[in-house]
Amino acid sequence: MDRHHYRFTSLWRLPAPPDRVHAVLARPEDYPRWWPQVRAVARRDERTGTAHIRSALPYTLRVTLTERRNDPMARVLASGIGGDMDGHARWTVVPDGRGGSLAAYEQEVVVRRKLLRRLAVPARPLLRANHAWMMRCGERGLTAWLRRPPQAP
pLDDT digits (tens, 9 = 90+) for 116-146: 777 777 777 888 898 999 999 999 999 999 9
pTM metric for this prediction: 0.91
Q: What is the mean pLDDT of residues 68-96?
A: 97
Rounded to whole angstroms, the Cα distance separating 140 from 149 reads 17
pLDDT digits (tens, 9 = 90+) for 7-27: 999 999 999 999 999 999 999
**Closest C-alpha to 52, from 70, 86, 21, 28:** 28
Rounded to whole angstroms, the Cα distance separating 119 from 117 reads 5
For the ranges 107-111, 113-117, 119-123, the lowest mean pLDDT is seen at 119-123
Query: Under a CB-based contact definition with an 8 Å cutoff, are residues 101 and 23 in contact?
Result: no
Beta bridge partners of 102: 13, 94
